[in-house]
Structure 1
Amino acid sequence: MTDSANYPNHPDSATTGHPVAAERPSTVEGAFWAFIASTVLGLVGGVLIFASRDAIAAALRDSTRRSGGTLTDAQIDQAVNITMIVALVIAVIIAALYLLFAFKLRAGRNWARIVLTVITALQLISLLAGQSTVLGYVSVAAAVVGVILSFLTPSNAYFAAAARIR
């Protein structure tokens, strides 16, 4: 693998005086697309929660009435709307960061691989500790596949070569 024309110790780097960029292996490409899929599935799951808006509001109304609360139906509807919008905004921000880390991973940044591994571990713990949807399970499974692919031997060589180039 180190004899490839795209690795820094290739003879072309000696003739030009500049290291040649490492060729991205299929394991890194696969990890990148697994993280993209995980992000998209997570966003779809976040958007689908809006389909449950009425059920969430009804459950909150029942809970409020049983506990002797004094919230009106309008206040409950407003609280549900605000909560859902805030949750969606947070999900979009997290997805944007996740995408940033995925693109940095694709570019050979080892720190991004570590950050994505930590985030995936947190997602897995969250999934195991609470309830989730089918999309949640599939999203975490895609992220786990991405982590595994990002630590396979070709990926390790790619990250090491990218670090040498910088």
Structure 2
Amino acid sequence: MSNPEGSSHEPVRPVSEGGPDAEIPRPRAVDLAFQASLASTVIACVATVVTVLLDQVWLERFARQMLEESGQPTGEVDLATGVAVARVSLGIGVALFAALFVLFAVKMRAGRSWARLLLTVFAAVGVVNFLSAVASSGAELSLMWSLAEVAFAVTAVVYMFRPESTSYFAEHRKRRLERRGGRPR
């Protein structure tokens, strides 16, 4: 969408009109950031399931290492139990990760600056991890999952910091401070 000045972003709408109880119009950029955050989370979860939870060789190696380090026997039955425990534990971890990131995305969409900051920090960490993985192992095919995840996370950050998004977060902060009796800066 083009505005009269010729820039390609959505014009910043006045959000202070209508009093402190009026609904703050959410810019499309915030919705797009929300969708990109969800896409990044889904890709990360699917990638973990495909590359870790369904990789029997990796799970057996992991279970054997855990059993050996804890001084447990590494027989066939013990190893099978270790693989099952690892698979369930990792599955629970993936579910918790997904729930936490969905919560961050929902809070960001609702105008919470702390959630926007957390999503930005996690995207930056993801970029650093991806770049270090590429630098250490080259462009492996398994890194395609990480590339997609990081691409959506960076896209979300770009949308979260567009001018209309920044105005949206600032207005939410201002209204929360007013409701608490504080003064906006």
TM-score (norm 1): 0.78
**Which residue of structure 2 lines up, in the alignment, with residue 72 of structure 1?**
75
Q: After superposition, where does 1:1-166 map in structure 2 within 5 Å?
A: 4=14, 7-8=15-16, 10=17, 13=18, 17-48=19-50, 49-53=52-56, 55-57=57-59, 71-130=74-133, 132-166=142-176
Is the 2:37–2:152 Cα contact (8 Å) retained in structure 1? yes
Indicate the RMSD between aligned Cα atoms, in angstroms.
Answer: 2.7
Q: Which has the larger share of helix?
A: 1
Is the 1:21–1:162 Cα contact (8 Å) retained in structure 2? no
The structure-2 alpha-carbon separation of the partners of 1:77 and 1:118, relative to structure 1 and needing over 3 Å to count, comes to same
Bigger shift: residues 75-84 or 38-47 = 75-84
The structure-2 alpha-carbon separation of the partners of 1:88 and 1:152, relative to structure 1 and needing over 3 Å to count, comes to same
**Which residue of structure 1 lines up, in the alignment, with residue 181 of structure 2?**
none
Is the 2:44–2:146 Cα contact (8 Å) retained in structure 1? yes
TM-score (norm 2): 0.71
Deviation for aligned residue 1:21: 2.2
The structure-2 alpha-carbon separation of the partners of 1:162 and 1:122, relative to structure 1 and needing over 3 Å to count, comes to same
Deviation for aligned residue 1:59: 5.1
Matched-pair identity in %: 30
Unaligned 5+ segments in structure 1 are: 64-69
The structure-2 alpha-carbon separation of the partners of 1:128 and 1:82, relative to structure 1 and needing over 3 Å to count, comes to farther
Number of aligned pairs? Answer: 153
Unaligned 5+ segments in structure 2 are: 1-10, 66-72, 177-185
